[in-house]
Structure 1
């Protein structure tokens, strides 16, 4: 990440390097040079796996009206008195199974930091110190508010806000953008801000996905018969109310199939992580893979195109719960295709998207 230079001069100052505005008094405090900020944003992570850390994280997440839009008078008593009395134990156990013990943090945090480092290196090679890169989480730390304030204090008068969700959904992309704008509402001097749109059909993103699948298939001892593209689920009501997520997921699957040159049902779409009594978009991944096994498909692979970095939904839910459902139903080999994470082709795709969205700013 580019380190802020607190005493470098803006173009409107008297001479480069002095850090004083034209005609300003000699005792005017130095201010940073004007820059452009880029913020990579992901869902979030608990600070630790103990009960209270998990409860704080889950309370923030499940209190978000974009995630659970039931009336507060109905939802909050249920959440605070019943769900959060028990769920932090189960979630903490899941996170402990995947926790990066060396860094004492979640894999999502580790991977997002490395993605940010590589993106920062790429942008520095293109634009020098004019562009600063940082990352934030919608829930947990580093918070969106703290990162946007830090970039503004470092001289970023323009900020590109990049939710790392290839497919747009109101519980992911929209809530990330909402939170950024809430910070702007509290600032006396707001930076100009742009948000990056969904990139589910960007050619470089699709090609990086296809390459990751080819590599996983080449490394598999037994070639998978079916590839399941598993996306995070949403209530079916969201689709009916105009959220484009389901449609964008379906298109990503189609584009991936075309990039791989495959036919028919060689790749299928399913949705994971359902909870609550509502009807969700389907089929459910955990049920779908079991049905594939019962149909005689003994060797499958699963890829997660909606996740830009491996996290509890992929490292625990897919590689344990969904894998177990497939094997218990008679499946024999289960291949997980890792998320794109900090692969070079993924970073190249992110850089191409960023370069396009920075048009006119750098």
Structure 2
């Protein structure tokens, strides 16, 4: 999410990226699922990825390595907006557009990132916004640059999204050959590659079929909704100009909070952390499932579904754990004096410390990649706060390149394409986990606007994607 102290207000961040793109780990083993239809194919596909030089699990040394320098990122041979596909040939790829808010990859991008954020009235409404936004961004830039400098000089979210997209596209070619080849593109809301850059790349590739795939499992108007609104506006702009890419046929994966692979990946990450505690206290350690907070005006006033979908993910993870530990859903990154979703993650630490708890585990339940909010807010700020109150806090590792999570992305896309295209499962796709929100061009839930929504673009966007990208008069 975006209205974060780590993005636009306060904080300073983690020492170095604990990730980056690692060298392939050919000897990596794939975690075993206790009971899941994903098990067999996850292992087989992960092994094939490893054989092709795509890492299914980073090595231990790579996890703690510093990020690659910005110059190496700039020198990357493929487009900023795309992930390389293993497929070549004359047939244009089926595009899978990975949407996220993004983050500045270098310190020089911080100012532009903040300017775009503060200009966006769908997220932040200010009086005289066109004048105030650049002033606020300019004032914040030095402080935020310092924060990003402390996590290696930029956000790792682009590198992780590339890693995830590359693995997803490779598996998707096997899971759903009817729409192969597949190619992952990246569209960030506030950082490069922006939506227009992704569409430019898709136009160059001759794409005629695309899936907009939100990288936020739980839907919110302030994240997935904002990305889709921006994509819709850009498509309409190109349609007015008569550009061919404006006629791409679209469908949307707009939420996936309880997908089996997502839940199992979170569960395994959490179980790995819990097993670092002595057996005699392991099941007494309280768990904080931390997600980015939202103003109550958005939740109660507008009716945003985000809190309910976060709770659904948490309940699914705890059920998989057998409800072994006490837990709470907590909310981080509150900004300003107005009422936000609570309890705040930091306040939870203080409260538990006063009650005598000596240990706690934090799970970034709404984030699928490491970025400034995990690397600083949880890894540094919250850890230090816990220590000041006599507690030891451990943060569960982000999903990043967990093999089951990579398979989940491919499963979700395959189930969605089967739903939209009406294709039948083959021997390779027969065990693709059913995605409950694979309901055609978008989920049934996406078609319902928030009760308090007053943004006309939301209604137009939903009608557009529900129709598969038809002109507005046809969608009506």
Q: Compute the TM-score of the two structures, normalised by the length of structure 2.
A: 0.65
Structure 2 match to 1:186: 237
Structure 1 match to 2:98: 40
Matched, 1:288 2:348: yes
Structure 1 match to 2:120: 64
- 1:245-273 deviations in whole A, cap 9, x for unaligned? 1111122222221111115x711111001
Matched, 1:312 2:372: yes
- 1:176-214 deviations in whole A, cap 9, x for unaligned? 111111221122332011111211112221121111100
1: CA distance, partners of 2:315 / 2:252:
26
User: Structure 1 runs of 4+ off > 4 angstroms?
Assistant: 3-6
SS at match of 1:291: helix
Q: Deviation at 1:237? A: 1.0
Kept in 2, the 8 Å contact 1:206–1:255? The answer is yes
**Quick one: which of 264, 267, 272 aligns to 1:207?**
264
Structure 2 match to 1:24: none
Q: Deviation at 1:87? A: 1.7
Kept in 1, the 8 Å contact 2:361–2:393? The answer is yes
**Quick one: which of 385, 400, 410 aligns to 1:325?**
385
After superposition, residues 220-231 of structure 1 pair within 5 angstroms as 220=277, 223=282, 225-231=285-291
Structure 1 match to 2:321: 260
After superposition, residues 129-278 of structure 1 pair within 5 angstroms as 129-187=180-238, 188=242, 189=244, 190-220=247-277, 223=282, 225-240=285-300, 241-262=302-323, 266-278=326-338
2: CA distance, partners of 1:5 / 1:145:
24
Distance 1:180 1:122, change over 3 A: same
2: CA distance, partners of 1:206 / 1:35:
29
Going by fraction, where is strand more abundant, 1 or 2?
1
Q: Deviation at 1:136? A: 2.4
Q: Which runs of 5+ in 2 are unaligned?
A: 1-83, 424-476
1: CA distance, partners of 2:110 / 2:273:
33
2: CA distance, partners of 1:120 / 1:166:
18
Structure 2 match to 1:344: 403
Q: Compute the TM-score of the two structures, normalised by the length of structure 1.
A: 0.84
Q: Deviation at 1:324? A: 1.6
Q: Which runs of 5+ in 1 are unaligned?
A: 9-32
Structure 2 match to 1:122: 171
Matched, 1:87 2:140: yes
SS at match of 2:150: helix
2: CA distance, partners of 1:43 / 1:122:
25
**Quick one: which of 81, 96, 104 aligns to 2:149?**
96
- 1:108-148 deviations in whole A, cap 9, x for unaligned? 12211111111122123342853222222121111121112
Distance 1:3 1:134, change over 3 A: farther
2: CA distance, partners of 1:277 / 1:325:
21
